Every structure is written in structure tokens, then in C-alpha cells.
Amino acid sequence: NRFQVMQPSPINKPKPGITIVSACMNRNENLHKSLTSWLLLDVQEIIIVDWSSETPVSETLKGINDPRIKVIRIDGEKYWVLTYAFNIGLQSATFEKIYKLDADIQVSTDFLTVNSFKEGEYIRGFWRDALDVDQADQVYLNGSFGAFKKDLKRIGFYNEYIRTYGYDDSDLYLRLNHEKLSAKYLALGSVIHFEQTQEQRTHHQDTSRTRLFDWHYATDFYIVFNRYLSVLLPKWCAQPLQSYEELSHDAEILKLKRTSSDLPIAQHFIDTSNRYADIALGIFSSTSDNVV
């Protein structure tokens, strides 16, 4: 049986309420700490996608008994791909409003109140807000957002051509903007990011670079690389998403295995994005010390 998370029938259209969607690969400890703050919120569902963690997330969360938690375990994946993992969670949400939170994001008890959004809007983190208040370690809140599921579905959810670190969220925001949605920004202080090293950010990813000319980390390079790649490739909207087959399903966990292959990207698009990213970061390094 194929797990049908895409194209829900009219009978199963999203219900009034809120779903939190998260995903992780071997970030179980951070997820456990973050989850304790999510459980204090008045949400109806918390979907956690376990992307082949060495210790299953379900084992880590054994001591937490809350019927709102749903774990979807993907077996057999060697590399972490954020767009794939979160697209499963976003499609599986059964409530109309979704807040996407990474496994290393803790929230305040008034998170929903200060970060509400209505029809025609979405809400997102913005890395520059953190820099403006001298909190450089909080720029990674950029990837937290809230939106209506119908709006996310209309843009095709995350761009699955982006399979390495960075720019996945910015690409999604741009496509929401193109749908004439108004962007709001998450309230500073209502979300807290657990700090990680640069190496931890690309650990488990299929990345070939670690540093660029000793000026930049791999994270800097792949953010720019993916930005150019998303511009060069056709606009992401209606392309088919990854497919999965069901391995097992019980009251606590749904286990899936990916059955489709990565969408092909012509080598000249990859080569061009590599070249543009090298040039852009080289020029940037000579003129500024700021974060890209």
C-alpha cells in the first residue's frame, strides 16, 4: 500500500485547528527538549517525521504519553534531506493551520497568541531580526513559519530540487509571496534556537564541501548554491513529490520507505550554480564580514 498523504479527498479536507510539524535525523535530544514546550500549546496535532535516525524517535519519546503526537518513521535513508522529510509532515497534517518548527526550536507559552495569522497571511522567522538585536546565534529561526495548509499545497510545499543545506525556507517564502500572501514576522523571544556547530548542520547531508577558500563554511556555500539553483530551474509548483510505501502502521507510529528516486537535475545547472556561488562568495568576502 502506498501512503496517500497527497491530494486528500474533500471528505478529509483539513479541519479547523492547528498542527505542528517537525522532522529530524539524529537530533533526538534536541527534539525531546523542544517537544516539552510544544506540548504546552493549545494545538490539536504534533507530527514528527523521523528521517532514519539511528535511535528511533519513538524510542526517545517513550516516556511522553500525549495522543496529539504522531510519529512517521522513514527507513533506509542515508542522508538528511529537509525538503523530503518536511513535505511528508506538511502533507500529513490534518488541521488547516500548520506551524513548521525544526527539532532544535523551543517556543514560549504565548507563542500562538503573539504569532497568529489569518487568511491571506503567513508568518515566518527572519534572520535579520536576530542580527538587529545582536543575537547572531538566533538567525536560524529563519526556518520557522506558520501557514494555511491549502496555501502550502497550492505552491507544492517545499522545493524538492533543493536537497542540501540552506535556502529551502527562503524559496518557500518567495513562492508564498508570489501567491499574494502577506508575510508577518515571528515575535522575537517567542522562539529560541538551540545552538549547533557548523559541522553539525551539514552532518548526515550529501555535501562535498566543508570550507570555501578558508573563508566560508559549507553552510554559506550551499545557501548561495541553492539560491542560484532555484532560480535556474523551472519554478517549483506542481512537480511530483517523492513517493513512499507503507511498511507498518499502528496506533503509535507509521513506518514508510521511499520508493521514488531524486528528481534529475541537468549537470549544467549544477555546474552553473557552483560557479555562481563561488564567485558570489568570493566577491562578498572581499567586501563584508556579515553573514550571507
Structure confidence by residue, pLDDT tens digits, 17-51: 999 999 999 999 999 999 999 999 999 999 999 99
Q: How far apart are CA 249 and CA 187, in angstroms?
A: 38
Q: Residue 127: pLDDT band by 50, 70, 90 thresholds?
A: low
Mean predicted lDDT score pLDDT of the chain: 84
Q: Residue 278: what are its φ and ψ, rounded to 5°? A: -60, -45
Nearest to 123 by CA among 87, 104, 163, 151: 151
pTM: 0.85
Per mean pLDDT, which of 49-63, 183-197, 203-217, 219-233 is the most reliable?
A: 49-63
Tell me, what amino acid is at 268?
H
